[in-house]
């Protein structure tokens, strides 16, 4: 009987350790996502209201599990429309839909991450494209701030 209680206690401690580690990993992954979303929100906020294809606060829908994966396509498309309209309004020479191609490749690669066997390759490509897209949007945002 005592052996069974010790086994159950050990199992419970293992489950708690795994759950704690999972929460720590989740928090570590959530922090860059929050800063990314803040960058997107800032870039949209620097566009005049008449140039915006979406409200800046709507980027926060990216944190919703599963929905955020699909919503990311809409954010990329609307970010490109908004930035393009704002650059045109200000007379700043820039591509017509800034960041759209890279953003769509990023979204597609992230979706490809769910494909069995080759998913990790797509996920890695998606991560690289995500970082590059983030840098690109931050650059456009800085251009609008100056």
Q: Is 49 exposed, middle or buried (0-12, 13-18, 19+ CB in 10 A)?
A: exposed
> What average pLDDT does the chain have?
91
The DSSP output letter for 48 is -
Instruction: Give the integer Cα–Cα distance in Å for 86 and 88.
Output: 5
- Higher local confidence (pLDDT), 10 or 17: 17
The number of CA neighbours under 13 Å toward the Cβ of 9 is: 6
pLDDT in tens, 114-145: 999 999 999 999 999 999 999 999 999 999 99
pLDDT in tens, 36-58: 999 999 999 999 999 999 999 99
pLDDT band at 83 (very low <50, low <70, confident <90, very high): very high
Angle subtended at Cα 140 by Cα 136 and Cα 146, rounded to the nearest 5 degrees: 145
């Amino acid at each position: 009987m005592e052996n069974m209680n010790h086994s159950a206690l050990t199992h419970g401690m293992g489950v708690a350790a795994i759950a704690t580690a999972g929460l720590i990993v989740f928090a570590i992954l959530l922090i860059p996502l929050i800063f990314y979303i803040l960058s997107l929100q800032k870039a949209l906020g620097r566009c005049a209201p008449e140039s915006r294809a979406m409200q800046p606060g709507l980027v926060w829908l990216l944190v919703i599990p599963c929905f955020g994966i699909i919503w990311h396509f809409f954010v990329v498309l609307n970010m490109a429309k908004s930035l393009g309209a704002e650059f045109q309004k200000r007379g700043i020479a820039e591509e017509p839909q800034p960041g759209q191609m890279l953003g769509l490749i990023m979204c597609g690669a992230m979706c490809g991450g769910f494909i069995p066997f080759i998913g990790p390759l797509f996920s890695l490509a998606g991560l690289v494209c995500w970082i590059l897209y983030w840098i690109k949007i931050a650059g456009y945002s800085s251009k609008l701030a100056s």
